[in-house]
Amino acid sequence: MGPRLAVLNGGCRGVAWSWKRSCRRIWRTSDKGPHVLPHPYPTSSTLERRLPTNVQLPKELHPVFFLFVAAPSVASMAWARISGEFNSGAKLAYFVAMFLYASLVSTEVVVLPKDELWPFLLRFPISAFGMCLGVSSQAMLWKTLETEPSTAFLRVHPIANHVFWGVSVALTLLVFVTYLLKVVFYFEAVRREFHHPVRVNFFFAPWIACLFLVKGVPRPVGEIHHVVWYFLMVPILCLDLKIYGQWMSSGERRLSKVANPSNHLAVVGNFVGALLGARMGLRELPIFFFAVGLAHYTVLFVTLYQRLPTNVQLPKELHPVFFLFVAAPSVASMAWARISGEFNSGAKLAYFVAMFLYASLVVRVNLFRGFRFSLAWWAYTFPMTSVALATVLYASEVDNMVTRTLAVGLSVLSAVTVTGVLATTVYHAFVTGDLFPNDVSIAITRRKPKFSKILAHLRPSRARP
Task: Assess if residue 35 is contained within a domain.
Answer: yes
In this structure, are 316 and 380 located in the same domain?
A: yes
Taking each helix axis as running N to C, give the angle between helix 88-104 and helix 2-25, from 0 to 180 degrees, rounded to the nearest 10. 60
Q: CA nearest 32: which of 261, 317, 314?
A: 314
In this structure, are 75 and 180 located in the same domain?
A: no
In this structure, are 421 and 350 located in the same domain?
A: yes
In this structure, are 80 and 167 located in the same domain?
A: no
In this structure, are 244 and 321 located in the same domain?
A: yes
Taking each helix axis as running N to C, give the angle between helix 324-340 and helix 345-362, from 0 to 180 degrees, rounded to the nearest 10. 160
Domain range spanning residue 11?
A: 2-107
Task: Assess if residue 456 is contained within a domain.
Answer: no
In this structure, are 292 and 373 located in the same domain?
A: yes
The answer to whether residue 202 scores a pLDDT higher than 70 is yes
Task: Assess if residue 124 is contained within a domain.
Answer: yes
Task: Assess if residue 162 is contained within a domain.
Answer: yes
Tens of pLDDT, residue by residue over 337-391, are 999 999 999 999 999 999 999 999 999 888 888 888 999 999 999 999 999 999 9
The answer to whether residue 67 scores a pLDDT higher than 60 is yes
Predicted confidence at residue 222, as pLDDT, reads 66
Predicted confidence at residue 324, as pLDDT, reads 94
β-strand 108-110 against 27-30: which pairing, if any? Answer: unpaired
What is the reported pTM?
Answer: 0.75
Output the domain CATH number for residue 307: 1.50.10.150
Tens of pLDDT, residue by residue over 425-436, are 999 999 998 899
Task: Assess if residue 455 is contained within a domain.
Answer: no
The answer to whether residue 105 scores a pLDDT higher than 80 is no
In this structure, are 153 and 42 located in the same domain?
A: no
Please, are residues 274 and 290 in contact by the beta-carbon 8 Å criterion?
yes
Task: Report the amino acid identity of residue 305.
Answer: Y
**Distance of alpha carbon 288 from alpha carbon 311, whole angstroms:** 29
Predicted confidence at residue 305, as pLDDT, reads 84
Task: Assess if residue 424 is contained within a domain.
Answer: yes
Q: Which long-range contacts (CB under 8 A, 24 or more apart) does 222-229 make?
A: 223/280, 224/280, 226/280, 226/282, 229/273, 229/276, 229/277, 229/280, 229/282
Beta bridge partners of 33: 30
What number of other Cβ atoms are within 10 A of residue 287's Cβ? Answer: 16
* Percent of the chain topping pLDDT 90: 57
Q: How many distinct structural domains can be found in the chain?
A: 2
- End residue of a domain, out of 82, 107, 132: 107
In this structure, are 155 and 239 located in the same domain?
A: yes
β-strand 33-36 against 108-110: which pairing, if any? Answer: unpaired
Task: Assess if residue 458 is contained within a domain.
Answer: no
In this structure, are 322 and 411 located in the same domain?
A: yes
**Distance of alpha carbon 424 from alpha carbon 440, whole angstroms:** 23
The answer to whether residue 9 scores a pLDDT higher than 70 is no
**Distance of alpha carbon 296 from alpha carbon 72, whole angstroms:** 46
What number of other Cβ atoms are within 10 A of residue 197's Cβ? Answer: 17
More confident residue, 332 or 465: 332
In this structure, are 306 and 417 located in the same domain?
A: yes
Predicted confidence at residue 454, as pLDDT, reads 43
Lowest model confidence (mean pLDDT) among 75-89, 272-286, 305-319, 325-339:
305-319
Task: Assess if residue 342 is contained within a domain.
Answer: yes
Number of residues in the chain: 465
In this structure, are 209 and 171 located in the same domain?
A: yes
In this structure, are 99 and 180 located in the same domain?
A: no
Residues with Cβ within 8 Å of 96's Cβ and at least 6 positions away in sequence, in order, are 41, 72
Q: Would you place residue 15 in the very low, low, confident or very high pLDDT band (cuts 50, 70, 90)?
A: very low
Burial call 137-160: b when 16+ CB within 10 Å, e when fewer: bbbbbbbbbbebebbeeeebeeeb
Tens of pLDDT, residue by residue over 139-161, are 999 999 999 999 999 999 999 99
